[in-house]
Amino acid sequence: MHYRFDFAALEEYWPDFLSGALTTLQMTAVATVLGLVIGILCAIGRRSPRAWLSGLCGAYVEAVRNTPYLIQIFFIFFGLSSIGVRLPVLAAAILTLVINVGAYTGEIVRAGMDTIPAGQVEAAESLGLSRAQIYWDIILRPALERVYPALTSQFVLMMLASSITSQISAEELTAVANNITSITFRSFETYIVVAFLYLALAVLLKLAFWGLAQALFPRRRRLGTPL
Amino acid sequence: MSVTRRALALVLSALVLGATAPAAWADQLADIKAARKIRIAVAMGIPRFAFVDAALQPTGSDVETARMIAKDLGVALDLVQITNAARVPTIQTRKADILVASLAVTPERKKVIDFTVPYATLNIIVAGAKGVAVKGYPDIVGKRIGVTRATVNDMLVTQNAKGAEIVRFEDDATLITAAVSGQVDLVSTQEAVVAVMNEKRPDRPFEVKFVQSELNLGIALPQGEDALKSWLNEWVKTNVANGRLTTMFRKFHERDLPADLTSRN
Is B100 part of any domain? yes
Q: Does some domain include residue B10?
A: no
Tens-digit pLDDT profile for residues A152-210: 999 999 999 999 999 998 999 999 999 898 888 888 899 999 999 999 999 999 999 99
Instruction: Give the model confidence (pLDDT) of A130-156 as tens digits.
Output: 999 999 999 999 999 999 999 999 999
Whether residue B154 sits in one domain with residue B143: yes
Q: Does A2 sit within 8 Å of B168, measured CB to CB?
A: no
| Residue from the list B85, B112, B181 with its beta carbon closest to the beta carbon of A81 | B181
Give chain B's domain count.
2
B169 and chain A: CB distance < 8 Å anywhere? yes
| Within a domain: B142 | yes
Assign 3-class secondary structure to chain A.
CCCCCCHHHHHHHHHHHHHHHHHHHHHHHHHHHHHHHHHHHHHHHHCCCCHHHHHHHHHHHHHHHCCCHHHHHHHHHHHHHHCCCCCCHHHHHHHHHHHHHHHHHHHHHHHHHHCCCHHHHHHHHHCCCCHHHHHHHHHHHHHHHHCHHHHHHHHHHHHHHHHHHHHHCCCCHHHHHHHHHHHHCCHHHHHHHHHHHHHHHHHHHHHHHHHHHHHHCHHHHHHCCCC
A183: chain B residues, CB-CB within 8 Å: 108, 155
- Its ipTM equals 0.74
Say if A179 is an interface residue toward chain B (CB within 8 Å). yes
Question: Do residue B103 and residue B160 come from a single domain?
Answer: no
| Partner residue facing A169 (CB), from B20, B23, B169 | B169
CA distance B254 to chain A (A): 31
- In this complex, do B20 and A2 lie within 8 Å of one another by their Cβ atoms? yes
What is the set of domains in chain A, with CATH numbers?
7-223 (1.10.3720.10)
Nearest CB among A2, A82, A84 relative to B22 is that of A2
Residues of A whose CB is below 8 A from B112:
185
Interface of B with A in 1-20 (CB under 8 A): 16, 19-20
Q: Are residues B135 and B54 in the same domain?
A: no
Residue B139 and residue B196 in one domain: yes
Amino acid B261 reads L
* B15: in domain: no
Q: Are residues B226 and B116 in the same domain?
A: yes
B1 in any annotated domain: no
Span B103-127, mean pLDDT?
94
Q: Are B191 and B248 contained in the same domain?
A: no
- Judged by average pLDDT, the poorest of A91-100, B22-31, B182-191, B232-241 is B22-31
Last residue of a domain, one of B214, B233, B249: B214
User: Percent of chain A at pLDDT above 90?
Assistant: 78
Query: What is the predicted pLDDT for the residue at A12?
Result: 92
| Together in a domain, B163 and B197 | yes
Is residue B5 in a domain? Answer: no
Could you tell me if residue B9 is inside a domain?
A: no
Same domain, B87 and B35: yes
Is residue B40 domain-shared with residue B109, that is, in the same domain?
yes
> Measured between CB atoms, does A83 come within 8 Å of chain B?
no
Q: Could you tell me which chain B residue has the CA closest to the CA of A192?
A: B15
Give the domain CATH number at B193.
Answer: 3.40.190.10
Judged by a CB distance cut-off of 8 A, whether residue A182 touches chain B is: yes
Is residue B231 situated within a structural domain?
Answer: yes
Other Cβ atoms within 10 Å of B154 Cβ, number: 21
Determine the pLDDT at residue A124: 95
What residue in A sits closest to B109 (Cα-Cα)? A185
Shared-domain flag, residues B31 and B109? yes
Same domain, B132 and B206: yes
| Residue B89 structural domain | 25-122+216-258
